[in-house]
């Protein structure tokens, strides 16, 4: 079967987990990946991948700037639109029977246009199964990004009641390297940043008598007790396995990998980033770590002082591989029942 797989290019989380899924699908199917941003060069190394345009999020002081993000993407949209006309050619020439999207909107719109089965696989659609209050802005954003799919496979480390039809919950998708690695007791804290605009991060860490390894600033440099590293998948997995704890934003993939390896997490979500705030909220409720709105010396020290308690709570965390989500995905791919909504048939 021919499958078009769209991957969101903002950050690395979508690309990392999609790699695990695509690797399994390629054992039985012909898969063509479309992606932009950071996802494209990462996935191109392993899979047949076509580059497409993508929309950026603009950060200011570790927060999403709605106005700048909207303005930037409005100005950029004509270029994105023209660039992504290639998706029409891909749909006509590759003729996918199924489209899978990891929060990549243009592949979803292509599926709708051509009347193809569309399967959404991401963690953002926990909103389909979540009693956590959603703002009107978040609802509009979710509808714009993925206006419709036949099925929603949602990865999560907390399990609220499903409220939308055709939505299924699964444990976090972890790459094979994480699943196979054995956690070790390290003498440093791993720090991962989605946004480079958090100016308070390094000054706060410099005041603490701990060693830190920091990814996300695209630099190889040592600043006292902080070792800055450019992203390298193999080194990142090794550091995740050896660290004593993790400090991150609220990105789901890093949280999922940390929990799998029994590493407590201090989550400092990007401000106004709905999904990250929700992840941090539940992380604290479950006792797997701490939710911090603004990083500073006091918050980090408090997190470190409670590591023993977080690690005790993590003993109850159920480690699972990707078997359940892969099995369901293959079942849905082969299903002949789906909604015909295409404009081009």
Instruction: Show pLDDT as tens, one digit a residue, over the chain (345 residues).
Output: 999 999 999 888 999 999 999 999 999 999 999 999 999 999 999 999 999 988 877 777 777 776 677 777 777 777 887 888 899 999 999 999 999 999 999 999 999 999 999 999 999 999 988 766 677 888 888 898 999 999 999 999 999 988 888 999 999 999 999 999 999 988 999 999 876 767 889 999 999 999 999 998 889 999 999 999 998 989 999 999 999 999 999 999 999 999 999 999 999 998 888 899 999 999 999 999 999 999 999 999 999 999 999 999 999 999 999 999 999 999 999 887 655 454 444
Domain-by-domain residue ranges, the chain?
A: 2-173+322-334, 176-314
**Do 2-173+322-334 and 176-314 agree at the fold level?**
yes
CATH assignment of 2-173+322-334?
3.40.50.2000
What is the Rg, in whole angstroms, of the alpha carbon atoms belonging to the chain? 20
Domain 176-314, CATH class in plain words: alpha beta
Distance CA 20, CA 137 (A): 31
Alpha carbon of residue 284 to chain centroid: 19
> Looking at the whole model, is its pTM more than 0.85?
yes
Beta-bridged to residue 289, according to DSSP, are 265
């Amino acid at each position: 079967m021919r499958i078009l797989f769209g991957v969101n290019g903002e950050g690395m989380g979508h690309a990392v987990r999609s790699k695990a899924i695509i690797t399994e699908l390629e054992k039985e199917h012909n898969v063509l990946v479309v992606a932009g941003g950071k996802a494209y060069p990462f996935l191109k190394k392993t899979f047949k991948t076509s580059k497409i345009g993508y929309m950026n999020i603009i950060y200011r002081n570790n927060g999403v700037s709605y106005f700048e993000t909207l303005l930037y993407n409005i100005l950029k949209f004509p270029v994105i639109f023209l660039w992504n006309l290639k998706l029409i050619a891909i749909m006509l020439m590759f003729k996918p029977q199924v489209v899978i999207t990891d929060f990549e909107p243009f592949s979803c719109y292509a599926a709708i246009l051509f009347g193809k089965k569309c399967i959404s696989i991401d963690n953002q659609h926990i909103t389909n199964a979540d009693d956590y209050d959603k703002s009107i802005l978040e609802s509009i954003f979710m509808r714009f990004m993925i206006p419709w799919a036949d099925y929603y496979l949602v990865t999560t480390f907390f399990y609220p009641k499903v409220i939308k039809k055709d939505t299924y919950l699964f444990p976090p998708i972890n790459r094979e390297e994480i699943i196979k690695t054995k956690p070790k007791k390290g003498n440093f804290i791993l720090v991962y940043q989605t946004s480079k605009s958090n100016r308070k991060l390094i000054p706060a860490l410099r005041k603490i008598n701990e060693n830190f390894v920091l990814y996300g600033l695209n630099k190889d440099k040592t600043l006292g007790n902080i070792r800055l590293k450019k992203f390298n998948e193999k080194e990142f997995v090794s550091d995740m396995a050896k660290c004593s704890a993790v400090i991150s934003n609220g990105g789901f993939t890093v949280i999922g990998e940390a929990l799998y390896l029994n590493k407590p997490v201090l989550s400092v979500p990007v401000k106004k980033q709905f999904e990250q705030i929700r992840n941090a909220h539940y992380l604290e409720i479950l006792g797997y770590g701490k939710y911090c709105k603004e990083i500073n010396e006091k918050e980090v020290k408090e997190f470190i002082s409670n590591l023993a308690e977080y690690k005790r709570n993590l003993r109850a965390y159920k480690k699972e591989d990707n078997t359940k989500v892969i099995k369901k995905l293959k079942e849905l791919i082969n299903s002949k029942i789906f909604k015909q909504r295409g404009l081009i048939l």
